[in-house]
Every structure is written in C-alpha cells, then in structure tokens.
C-alpha cells in the first residue's frame, strides 16, 4: 500500500471540506478499488493500493482543485509498504517527506519519500556537510550581489540536466547571463559546473546549502 499525506494550510473547516469532496471524487475514479481518505494529526491522509498507477498524482490534482491556487498545500508520498504495520510506516514516511521538503524549500507540490533519501543521507553528518558547503561555496560570498544568486543558478543548472538554455528559461534570464554566472562560480571557487567530477562536488554542496540554509546560516566550525 501507499500513503499519501496532504498538508493543507487554513482553518480546520477547509480540511473537512477537502475530505468530503476528494473522497467522493477519488472513490468514483478508482472504483471498485478500496481507497481510504481520513484526517489524522491535522493532515489529510489517503491510503491506496501500491499498484494503482497514477493515484498519487491524481489525488494531488484533485486536492489542488478543491483548495484552490491561493491555499498553501503540499503532498507527501510514502514508499510502498506491506504487512500489518504497513499503513503506519507509510504514514510516517509521507509525513517525514513533508517535513524534509521544507528544509531545502522544494517547489514541488508532490514530494516523494524515495526522492528525498539523498537529503536524509546528507543530514546524517550535518557537521561534515557544513564543512563541505563552507569549503566549496564560501568564496561565493565575495561575488557582487552576494552568493545566493549564484547558488540559485547552480541549483537550476543541475536541475535542468546542465542545460544552459533550460536554466535561463527557468530563471527568466538570458543564456549569456547564465554562462557569466557559471564562469564567476569557476573563478571564485575553482570548480567548473560543466566538468562531471567537479560538478558532482558542486551539486552536493548546493544541496547541502539548501538543507542548512546557507548562505544565511554559517559558516560552520
């Protein structure tokens, strides 16, 4: 089974409304498959069979339709679990996915526990992660306008598969501006974002920066 947990901002009445409307729509779509929709600990929880293809995405879409664009909400998806305690373990995974997604300020509405495992691994030794971030990215503080703009550019560049045109579109800037910023990163840090080995170090450092709140936080001892 899979557990889909939804964090919905607003008053409790909003959550109750979501339960009523989404439960009816989702059960109609998935019939005769059994789908459970409840509220637990202030979260909207949906339990679905793990082999029901597209269920989390459909559930997230329907939640968005009910609560509207101006409401703050996010969906956490567990990994498949089985056995008597499967639902409980899945709930904890999905809830932890919501909590974890807040740290790197992910923009995605649907966050999957499996996709956040890398963040959990990095945070197991936050001291070492802080040292890496400082060693690699600290020179960016010397850039005109500060480090944040360059870190955001790196994050978008890696998310795009290291394609400058896609990065430019995502950031709403020109390709030449992206290239200039990547050149500044190389000049300040000595790391090239277009070199596979050096890009890996940069990408891990950028992930660490998002987790640790750098450059607002740090440096670390």
Provide the residue ranges of all domains of the chain, joining segments of one domain with +: 2-112, 125-212
Mean pLDDT of 13-22: 53
Fold (CATH) for 2-112: Alpha-Beta Plaits (3.30.70)
Find the mean pLDDT for residues 88-115.
82
Residues 40-51 as b or e (16 or more Cβ within 10 Å = b):
eeebbbbbbebe
Which of helix, strand or coil describes residue 105?
coil
Q: Which fold has domain 125-212?
A: Arc Repressor Mutant, subunit A (1.10.10)
Q: Which pLDDT does position 169 carry in this prediction?
A: 96
* Local confidence band at 10 (pLDDT 50, 70, 90 cut-offs): very low
What residues contact residue 37 under an 8 Å CB cut-off, 6+ apart? 19, 22, 23, 26, 27, 44, 45, 46, 47
d(CA 81, CA 18): 25
Q: Which residues pair with residue 91 across a beta bridge?
A: none
How many Å apart are CA 98 and CA 31, to the nearest integer? 28
Question: For the chain, what is the mean pLDDT?
Answer: 81
Provide the pLDDT for residue 22.
Answer: 57
pTM above 0.75, yes or no: no
- Asked if 144 and 162 count as a contact pair (C-beta separation under 8 A), the reply is no
Which H or E run includes 25? helix 12-30
Give the pLDDT confidence score for residue 189 in this predicted structure: 97
For the chain, what is the radius of gyration of the CA atoms? 20
Sign of the C-alpha dihedral computed for residues 6, 9, 11 and 14 taken in this order? negative
Distance of CA 2 to the CA centre of its chain: 19
pLDDT of residue 132 exceeding 90, the answer is yes
Q: Which of 11-25, 47-61, 134-148 is least confident?
A: 11-25
Tokens of 36: 């459970």
The residues pairing with 2 across neighbouring beta strands, listed in sequence order, are 48
| Fold match between domain 2-112 and domain 125-212 | no
Q: What is the pLDDT of residue 136?
A: 97
């Amino acid at each position: 089974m899979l557990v889909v947990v939804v964090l919905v901002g607003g008053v409790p009445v909003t959550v109750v409304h979501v339960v009523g409307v989404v439960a009816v729509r989702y059960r109609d779509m998935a019939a005769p498959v059994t789908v459970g929709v409840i509220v637990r600990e202030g979260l909207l929880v949906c339990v679905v069979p793990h082999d029901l293809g597209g269920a989390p995405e459909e559930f997230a879409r329907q939640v968005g339709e009910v609560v509207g664009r101006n409401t703050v909400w996010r969906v956490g998806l567990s990994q498949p679990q089985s056995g008597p305690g499967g639902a409980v373990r899945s709930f904890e995974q999905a809830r932890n996915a919501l909590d974890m997604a807040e740290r790197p300020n992910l923009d995605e509405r649907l966050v999957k526990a499996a996709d956040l495992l890398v963040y959990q691994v990095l945070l197991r030794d936050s001291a070492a992660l802080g040292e890496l971030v400082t060693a690699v990215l600290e020179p960016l503080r010397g850039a005109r306008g500060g480090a944040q703009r360059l870190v955001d550019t790196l994050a978008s560049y890696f998310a795009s598969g290291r394609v400058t045109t896609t990065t430019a579109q995502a950031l709403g800037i020109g390709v030449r501006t992206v290239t200039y910023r990547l050149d500044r990163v190389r000049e300040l840090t000595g790391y090239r974002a277009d070199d596979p080995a050096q890009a890996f170090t940069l990408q891990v450092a950028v992930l660490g920066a998002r987790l640790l709140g750098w450059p607002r936080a740090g440096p670390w001892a």
